[in-house]
Structure 1
Amino acid sequence: MALLMRLLTLVVNVLCLPLHLMEATGLYRIYKYIFPACLYRCSVMYNKKMHDKKMELFRSLPHFKKPGKQLTVLEIGCGTGTNFKYYPAGCKVICTDPNPNFQRYLKSSMAECDQLIYERFVVASGEDMGSVEDETVDVVVCTLVLCSVNDIPQTLREVHRILRPGGAFFFMEHVVADPSTWCYFFQHILQPPWYYFGDGCEVIRETWKHVEAAGFSDLKMNHVEAPLVFIIRPHIIGYGVK
């Protein structure tokens, strides 16, 4: 089975040679302008499928508001802003994303969720959020982002840096399946084209291992099978307290 998986992955990589060349020559950057429109449509579908799980997860957000203070939420890779409707009214939101082309869709989501206070949009990767000061955020939110960052441990170190003591990191991420399953088999075979059409997304990451090693004082994490297409069905959902 492992040999067949490697062979088929090699075949798919060969078929993806034009995409590899586009990335090597810089032409793939054009997709950065197209991807926000694609993600907007996919995010609407994802929210419908995952609505109950998001409601359950984000129900705990108010617990991390300091008495007499405004809850401050920073979202890494906010994309089109599809998480905004799950945030408690009156909270202050800082949006970050490495792709500035999302701002058009963010404005639309902000208009629909005017119960929130939007502080700013920062063009930054998860690995480098230097414009955000140390220990100034109550909650960091990260959904479907750790699959595409270049360095998960560095991203989590940045999360620790900007979270105040007692603050929390909320996450909802798809991960690699159990090696004994057909899902695992096809995740590896389909990874090469998925990487390009998903703007750097990798479905074969063991993201939970990095979260477990990130040094949170209290970590609540569940492995679930999401009601989605099989390649992104395995998920981890939860939060960790600094």
Structure 2
Amino acid sequence: MSLAISFWTLVVNALCIPMHIIKALGLYEGYKRVFPFLQQRISVNYNKIMHNKKTELFRSLSEFTKPGQKLTLLEIGCGSGANFEFYPPGCKVICTDPNPHFKKYLEKSMKQNDHLTFDQFVVASGEDMASVKDESADVVVCTLVLCTVGDIPQTLREAHRILRPGGAFFFMEHVVADPLTWSYFFQHVLQPAWYYFGDGCEVTRETWKYLEEAGFSELKLRHIQAKLMFMINPHIIGYAVK
């Protein structure tokens, strides 16, 4: 299968030459204005399909609240705020995203989720959240983001830095499929085109390996098959404790 993957990936790469040129010329940045509109609508459908999984995952958030205090949560790549409805009442939320054009969608989600307290929106990549203080959050949340960051280990180091001792990093990410499946084949073949559609999204990442090597004291991770399109069916879900 590896030879077939290499050949067809080359074909798709050739078809994507116009997009490669657009990106090289710096013109692809215009898509970042459009992407929040698309992502917000995709998130609505994703939440319908993954509602039970998200509810189950985020049910554990309150376990990491300090006695007598409200939960302080930082979300990496908050996008349009698709996770807000799953956060516990009174939770203080710090939002980060590298795309400033999400702000108007984020503000709408904030108004719809008045059970939360919103601290700030920081325009920052997952790899560099220097404006967020060390050990300032009980929980860091990251969903469908580690597929787009340029440096997963550095993003996890930043999450680890921001978490207080005993805090937790919650994640839900799509990952590469089993090598013996057709999903794996198409993930690799279509990746060059998918990258542009998904604003840098890579479906061929073995993200769980980075989490295993990130230095957390405890890791609760499981692989699941989501009922989504084949490119993003394989998921990992869980949390890691600092």
Q: 3-state DSSP class of the match of 1:11?
A: helix
Q: Distance in 2 between matches of 1:162 and 1:182?
A: 39
Q: Distance in 1 between matches of 2:85 and 2:100?
A: 21
Map Cα deviations across residues 110-136 of structure 1 (whole Å, 9 max, x no partner): 111001000000000000000000001
Q: What residue number does 1:49 align with?
A: 49
Q: Distance in 1 between matches of 2:86 and 2:77?
A: 16
Aligned length: 242
- 2:38 is matched by which residue type in structure 1? C
Q: 3-state DSSP class of the match of 2:235?
A: strand
Q: Does residue 132 of structure 1 match 2:132?
A: yes
Q: Give TM-score, length-normalised by structure 2.
A: 1.00
Q: What residue number does 2:206 align with?
A: 206
Q: 3-state DSSP class of the match of 1:89?
A: coil
Q: How does 1:172-211 map to 2 (within 5 A)?
A: 172-211=172-211
Q: 3-state DSSP class of the match of 1:115?
A: coil
Q: Distance in 2 between matches of 1:187 and 1:104?
A: 32
* Structure 1 gap ranges (5+): none
Q: What residue number does 1:13 align with?
A: 13
Q: 3-state DSSP class of the match of 2:34?
A: helix
Q: What residue number does 1:76 align with?
A: 76
Q: Distance in 1 between matches of 2:91 and 2:7?
A: 51
* Structure 2 gap ranges (5+): none
Q: Give TM-score, length-normalised by structure 1.
A: 1.00
Q: What residue number does 1:37 align with?
A: 37
- 2:201 is matched by which residue type in structure 1? C
- Aligned-CA RMSD value: 0.4
Q: Distance in 2 between matches of 1:178 and 1:31?
A: 31
Q: What residue number does 1:65 align with?
A: 65
Q: Distance in 1 between matches of 2:207 and 2:29?
A: 26
Q: What residue number does 1:111 align with?
A: 111
Q: Distance in 2 between matches of 1:80 and 1:160?
A: 24
Q: Distance in 1 between matches of 2:192 and 2:42?
A: 20
Cα displacement (A) at 1:69: 1.3
Aligned structure 1 segments of 4 or more residues deviating by more than 4 angstroms: none
